[in-house]
């Protein structure tokens, strides 16, 4: 199992935005130093707590302060931007990172973003597909472009001057394009089936019960089969909320206590999912009423915490439910205590993962 990082950081509303951004950047720098293989960052334009507004811009600030970690958008919310802007900016970012880039995409899940961009009542799934198809057509073709869609039209026919490069949209460094990554946020995801058929790799979200995460592997296999592609568990990433400390008392308090950044995170997530009609993600039984979904139960079901030995055992038990996967994406949270947050990432990389891999290798 490889170790990666994924953050859609949810900060306290009163925390200085500059501090939030500085600590979020420091988490990626630390992940690189600790040998995390990849890291993803989310984006939302209309969320004061989840306050990284552009994942591509945020990644650009990490180019010269990271060395080895692959950096990924987690995700570009495709309906909220013009495909030309996405295609050109992602291509440039891939060059700036010298190919150290993964292209994470989604329809976007925050309803206030959709409303602000005028997409709340549109078919955002349809917009997502048209947008990524348009981006891929741009990268696969040469100018002048003429790409007609329902939501966007891309043309440089009237203004191209090939001799001087006018009217040409840049292509990524990686060929034919950077790895495309999609997040799977629903049980038995049909979107994952379609994505796998196109050769795109999945991330299972960190707010799904383990039993629902386990449904993603059969969906991935089904999609790969439809696309004539091999289904390799190494391509499956699972995001997971984990906190590691040197003693159990500290670990439990930081992960579940009243001032826990993990509690704050899931208070926000549960509120959003209930409001959006998606509380089923947290239900062991779909017939449960939404009122039965509590933050305490969600923390119990979704957060792995403890000393390195306990966390390793809990991750091995998690693997018994999900099956084999390639990369665990350590889910970033607000650094309520920067020292403990840093220590957790270090223990995860230096103690938990090596012990976990030794245990699975012997199986």
Rounded distance between C-alpha atoms, residue 53 and residue 45, angstroms:
5
Check: CB of residue 295 under 8 Å from CB of residue 233.
Answer: no
Return the CATH number at 233.
3.20.20.30
Indicate whether 267 pLDDT > 90.
Answer: yes
Give a yes or no: residue 118 inside a domain: no
Give a yes or no: residue 28 inside a domain: yes
55's CB contacts (< 8 A; 6+ apart) are 40, 41, 42, 43, 73, 74, 75, 76, 104
Average pLDDT over residues 296-307: 98
Give a yes or no: residue 307 inside a domain: yes
Q: Do strands 303-306 and 237-244 pair parallel, antiparallel, or not at all (unpaired)?
A: parallel
351-362 pLDDT tens trace? 999 999 999 997
311-345 pLDDT tens trace? 999 999 999 999 999 999 999 999 999 999 999 99
Give a yes or no: residue 173 inside a domain: no
Structural domain count, the chain = 1
* pTM higher than the cut 0.95: yes
Give a yes or no: residue 319 inside a domain: yes
Placement of tokens 């946020």 in the chain: 185
Strands (DSSP E) along the chain, which ranges?
2-7, 38-41, 70-73, 76-77, 101-106, 146-148, 153-155, 180-184, 201-204, 237-244, 303-306, 327-331
What integer best gives the mean pLDDT of the chain? 97
Tokens of 203: 């991330």
pLDDT of 363: 67
Q: Which domain holds residue 17?
A: 2-74+179-361
Which of the four pLDDT bands, split at 50, 70 and 90, describes residue 117? very high
Q: Is the Cα dihedral 154, 158, 159, 161 positive or negative?
A: positive
25-71 pLDDT tens trace? 999 999 999 999 999 999 999 999 999 999 999 999 999 999 999 99
Give a yes or no: residue 251 inside a domain: yes
Give a yes or no: residue 115 inside a domain: no
Of residues 286 and 233, more confidence is placed in: 233
pLDDT of 286: 87
Give a yes or no: residue 121 inside a domain: no
Average pLDDT over residues 3-30: 97
136-174 pLDDT tens trace? 999 999 999 999 999 999 999 999 999 999 999 999 999
Average pLDDT over residues 207-214: 96
């Amino acid at each position: 199992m490889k170790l990666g990082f994924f953050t859609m950081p949810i900060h306290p509303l009163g925390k200085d935005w500059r501090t939030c951004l500085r600590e979020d950047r420091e988490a990626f720098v630390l992940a690189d130093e600790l040998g995390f293989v990849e890291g993803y960052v989310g984006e939302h334009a209309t969320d004061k707590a989840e306050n990284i507004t552009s994942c591509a811009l945020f990644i650009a600030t990490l180019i010269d302060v990271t060395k080895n970690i692959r950096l990924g958008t987690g995700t570009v919310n495709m309906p909220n931007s013009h495909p030309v802007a996405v295609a050109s900016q992602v291509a440039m970012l891939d060059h700036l990172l010298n190919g150290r880039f993964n292209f994470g995409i989604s329809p976007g899940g925050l309803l206030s973003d959709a409303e602000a961009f005028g997409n709340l009542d549109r078919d955002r799934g349809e917009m997502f597909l048209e947008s990524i198809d348009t981006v891929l057509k741009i990268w696969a073709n040469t100018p002048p472009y003429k790409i007609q869609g329902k939501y966007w039209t891309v043309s440089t026919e009237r203004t191209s001057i090939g001799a001087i490069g006018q009217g040409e949209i840049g292509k990524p460094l990686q060929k034919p394009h950077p790895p495309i990554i999609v997040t799977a946020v629903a049980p038995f995801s049909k979107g994952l089936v379609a994505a796998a058929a196109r050769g795109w790799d999945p991330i299972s979200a960190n707010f799904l019960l383990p039993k629902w995460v386990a449904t993603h592997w059969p969906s991935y296999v089904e999609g790969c089969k439809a696309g004539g592609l091999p289904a390799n568990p190494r391509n499956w990433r699972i995001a997971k909320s984990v906190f590691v400390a040197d003693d159990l008392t500290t670990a439990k308090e930081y992960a579940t206590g009243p001032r826990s950044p993990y509690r704050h995170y899931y208070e926000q997530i549960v509120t959003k999912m209930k409001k959006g009609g998606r509380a089923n993600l947290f239900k062991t039984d779909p017939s449960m009423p939404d009122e039965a979904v509590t933050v305490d139960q969600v923390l119990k079901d979704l957060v792995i915490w403890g000393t390195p030995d306990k966390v390793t055992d809990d991750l091995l038990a998690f693997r018994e439910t999900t099956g084999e996967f390639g990369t665990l994406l350590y889910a970033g949270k607000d650094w309520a205590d920067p020292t403990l947050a840093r220590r957790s990432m270090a223990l995860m990389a230096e103690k938990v993962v090596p012990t976990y891999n030794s245990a699975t290798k012997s199986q």
